[in-house]
Amino acid sequence: MNRGRQLGFWMCLALVMGNMIGSGVFLLPASLAPYGLNSLYGWLLTAAGSLLLATVFAGLARAFPGKPAYAYVQMAFGNRTGFVVAWGYWVAVWVGNAAVAIAAVSYLSYVVPWISATPGASIGVTLGFIWLFTIINMLGARESGSVQVITTVLKLLPLLAVIVLGLILLGQGRMIDANAGAPAVAFSWDAVNASAILTLWAFLGLESAAVASEKIRDPERIIPLATFWGTLITALVYILICTVVIVLIPAKALAVSSAPLADLIARYWGADWGDWIAAFAAISALGALNGWILLQGELPGQMARAGAFPAWLARRSQRDTPVPALLLTGVLVSVVVVLNAEKGMVEIFTFLLLISTSAILVMYLLSAAGALLLYKRGELSLQRPMTGFLMVAACACVYALWALFGAGKDAVLWGFFLLASALPVYYFSRSQVRQALLSLPLLAIVPVWHVITHFRM
């Protein structure tokens, strides 16, 4: 057995769920408050679309065991498109990790006030966590997977507590008048669509098992199971949490809440419990950071072995971990954090979320479309009736396309620029000098560095 394949089903399930459940579930209820019950329909729509995508990735993982997620696009559309998608996904991951780390420390500062009160402490703690989890991932997949299991269990505890609280109050009949006096929000497809787009980023990461395929034992069996069940369980948790929060917190109070779950627990169980929720929110974000750091190290190694990145990024330690790639991405994430140290959490988080979501949506869209194309060319067979899977893949294409355009003009534009910046790298990596020179204007228009330093211009 390959020593690198150390992740079993439970670690793989924790990777999928842990990467999806980050800080968003603790913040989104406030963002969704203006939409009332329409936000619940938005969650249902997003959950359905995410399950379609999860089914596609599960089927592709079963058909092509051991292949990383971007390889499906590469097989269907060629090396160049595969590289562009992989590049966009990789940059989206490590840029987004900066936002996750900042969010984690922001929550932690509620529990440990000196972090926000001491000059420079916040950025120091943020960088400390980035490098702590980078080192853990250098130690090996089993160590990283163990941390992921522990943090996933811990992050589920407060969410389950909120669900239990809701069930108890429902049994007592106290949920009926929770929103008494609040203005009713009429059903509206526009409101449903808007809330569905907001909830979409909470499901980013459903492809995590496929990205980390080289770390997983028996990938043909484990990746499909972990992908589907991880997405389904996460969707159920999200929908239950959203329902409880909407019914238990008055709409006006929810709209101005900076920590909805903490406010909910504090309202019914006392302020001390609210502080615990903030602590668990920090743990939740840190668990997601650990899982995403694993992926940001695996991707450049995979691309280096394919000849698209420098060969030294493919080197692995005796523990079979991509140490050079982890060090490089650790430095890149640290640079993003330092450059945006003076900005507020919401501002940087919103922008980084914008470009991360759009780039990952492109991979979702092309993966689903690639499944259809591979079947048409006779390269995809699941050794079972394909009609259902093909219908799911077609619906997943429609959903991903709708979500991409629904994300807005800015998201599509930044996502396009981010993907376009991959072309010079692609051509230079293949020593096609003439084509590389022709592609240089793309770098002049919008280099990745411009994206990263957007707020400092």
Give the C-alpha separation, 386 to 65, whole Å.
Answer: 18
pLDDT at 184: 52
pLDDT of residue 255: 66
How far is the C-alpha of 150 from the C-alpha of 284, rounded, in Å?
Answer: 10
| pLDDT band at residue 258 under the 50/70/90 scheme | low
**Arithmetic mean of pLDDT, 356-360:** 77
Q: What is the mean pLDDT of residues 251-272?
A: 71
What are φ and ψ of residue 75, in 5° steps? Answer: -65, -35
Q: Cα separation of 38 and 45, whole Å?
A: 11
Q: What pLDDT sits at residue 1?
A: 41
Question: Per-residue confidence at 17, pLDDT binned at 50, 70, 90?
Answer: confident
- Residues whose CB falls within 8 Å of the CB of residue 3, separated by 6 or more in sequence, listed in order: 319, 320
- pLDDT (0 to 100) of residue 15: 84
d(CA 148, CA 293) in angstroms, rounded, equals 11
Q: How far apart are CA 240 and CA 44, in angstroms?
A: 11
The per-residue pLDDT for 166 is: 80
- The pLDDT score that the predictor gives to residue 5 is 59
| pLDDT winner (highest mean) among 93-97, 135-139, 353-357 | 135-139
The pLDDT of residue 450 is 44
Tell me what pLDDT residue 447 has.
43
Predicted model pTM: 0.81
User: Average of pLDDT values for 16-33?
Assistant: 77
Residues 27-46: tens digit of each pLDDT: 677 677 777 778 888 889 99
Q: What is the mean pLDDT of residues 118-132?
A: 86
**Confidence at residue 354, expressed as pLDDT on a 0 to 100 scale:** 65
- To the nearest whole number, what is the mean pLDDT of the chain? 77
Q: Is the pLDDT of residue 154 over 80?
A: yes
Tell me the average pLDDT across 141-154: 83
Burial-class residue 113 by CB neighbours within 10 Å (0-12, 13-18, 19+). exposed
Cβ atoms within 10 Å of 126's Cβ, excluding its own: 24
Average pLDDT, stretch 206-220? Answer: 78
pLDDT digits (tens, 9 = 90+) for 275-314: 777 788 888 888 888 888 888 888 888 777 776 677 788 8
Q: Is the pLDDT of residue 396 over 90?
A: yes
Higher pLDDT, 128 or 142: 128
* Annotation: CATH topology of 9-415: Amino acid/polyamine transporter I (1.20.1740)
- pLDDT score at 48: 92
- pLDDT tens by residue, 158-211: 888 888 888 887 777 665 444 444 445 667 787 888 788 778 878 888 888 877
pLDDT at residue 262 in the model: 73
Which run of H or of E encompasses 233? Answer: helix 219-248
CA separation for the pair 223, 142 (Å, rounded): 16
CA distance 448 to 331: 15
Q: 250 by DSSP, 3-state: which?
A: coil
Concatenated DSSP letters of 181-215 = TSPP----HHHHHHHHHHHHGGGTTTTHHHHTGGG
Between 230 and 351, residue with greater pLDDT: 230
User: Which pLDDT value is given to residue 386?
Assistant: 66
Rounded mean pLDDT, 101-114: 79
- Select the more confidently predicted residue: 50 or 409: 50
Confidence band for 222, pLDDT divided at 50, 70 and 90: confident
Q: Work out the burial of residue 229: count CB atoms within 10 Å of its CB; fewer than 13 is exposed, 13-18 middle, 19 or more buried.
A: middle
| Residue percentage of the chain with pLDDT more than 70 | 80
**Maximum mean pLDDT: which of 47-56, 91-100, 114-123:** 47-56
* SS3 category, 45: helix
Phi, psi torsion values for 113, nearest 5 degrees: -60, -25
Residue range 428-443, pLDDT digits in tens: 766 544 444 444 444 4
pLDDT of residue 384: 61
